Amino acid sequence: MKILLIEDEPELRKSIKQYLHQEGYVVESAADFVKASEKAGVYDYDCILVDITLPKGSGLDIIKQLKENGSKAGIIIISAKNSSSDKIKGLDLGADDYLAKPFDLAELNSRIKALIRRRNFDGNKSIVVNEITIIPEQRQVNVNNELVTLTAKEYDLLLFFISNKNRVVSKNTIAEHLWGDDSDQMDSHDFIYVHLRNLRKKLMDKGCADYVQTIYGIGYNFKVNG
């Protein structure tokens, strides 16, 4: 799985690269418009992460270029400008998703996974983690081939965990994923705890192992061995 990361801030580039590398992706990066345009023109990528404000040009033009060349890559815009007009412009040009800075790496990761799933797994529509099978199109979860009925939040929580399995995800990151902008409104940590407790119970009732580890002080780790 090959990803092109177009981002001019070196530290951010380094961190994203490292995180995605740990996920098993091959990550190439470009720091400015010219290099990005070059790479995007020459190689094929599964997913391209593009910052809009770049030295020597606009990320939007790279999206245009990719689409003109008939690229099949999924495109996620990562921008410091959380403006709806940029978002609409980008999505109109053919970008698949838009993520405003500052974002969580876990969130970025789950967006990439969702995008790749939508793009590539047309034949294979389910995610399998040991005894858990998720069919995202139907928002359906089976454990040991038995249907588990989850609420929308519980489902999102499980999918987020599985997208970031074997990773420590903080409660804040989870809250932001589940409630978006409203997450600062919540006594979110208690709230996540309630959803997580219900999710765990429902999964374990069907004979699922307890994968969720509590990382004291920070959050959780959905630990799957092997």
Partner 1 sequence: MKLISKTLIYYLLVSLPLLIIAGLLSYFLINSELKDGTDETLMNEKINAERLIQSLKEPKSIYLSSDSLSNIKLISGAELNDGFIDTLIYNREESENVGARMLRSYYTVNGNTYQITLLKTTMEEEELLEGILATFAIIVGFLIVSFAIVNWLLSKTLWKPFYSTLSELNKYEIQNHEQHHFNEVNTLEFNQLNIALNKMMDKIYSDYQEQKEFTENASHEMQTPLAVIKANLSLLMQSDNLKEDEMNRLQTIENTIKKLASLNKALILLSKIENNQFKESESISIKQFTSKIADNYIDLFQSKNIGLELNLSEDVIVKMNPTLAEILLTNLIQNAIRHNSENGKIIIELKQNQLTISNSGKPLTIPKDHLFIRFKKNDASKDSLGLGLSIVNGIAKTYGFKINYDYSSSLHHFQVNFN
In terms of CB distance, is 196 or 208 closer to partner 1? 196
Find the binder of partner 1 among 26, 43, 72, 82 (CB under 8 A).
82
Tell me the C-alpha distance between 146 and 116, whole Å: 26
d(Cα 58, Cα 80) in Å, to the nearest integer? Answer: 13
Q: Please, what is the minimum distance in Å from the beta carbon of residue 194 to partner 1?
A: 7
Structure token digits, residue 132 = 């858990």
Q: DSSP string covering 168-196, please?
A: EEEHHHHHHHHHGGGGGGS-HHHHHHHHH
Q: How far is the CB of 216 from partner 1 (least distance, A)?
A: 6
Would you say 111 and 99 are in contact if contact means Cβ atoms under 8 Å apart? yes
Site for partner 1 in 109-138 (CB under 8 A): none
Q: How many chain residues interact with partner 1 (CB under 8 A)?
A: 41
Residues forming beta bridges with residue 9, ordered by sequence position: none
The rounded distance, in Å, linking the Cα atoms of 153 and 161 is: 12
Q: Nearer Cβ to partner 1, position 167 or 202?
A: 167
Scan for tokens 């997580």, then name that residue. Answer: 196
List Cβ<8 Å contacts ≥24 apart for 120-129.
120/46, 127/159, 127/162, 129/162, 129/165, 129/224
Indicate the helix (H) or strand (E) that contains 150. Answer: none
What is the pattern of x (binds partner 1, CB under 8 A) and - over residues 44-63? --------------------
Among 2, 89, 153, 200, binds partner 1 (CB under 8 A): 153
Between 91 and 133, CB nearer to partner 1: 91
Residue from 185, 201, 210, 225 binding partner 1 (CB under 8 A): 185
Verify binding: residue 213, partner 1, rule CB under 8 A.
no
- Where do contacts with partner 1 occur on this chain (CB under 8 A)? 9, 11-12, 15-16, 18-19, 22, 80-84, 100-106, 153, 167-168, 170, 172-173, 176, 181-182, 184-187, 190-191, 194, 215-219
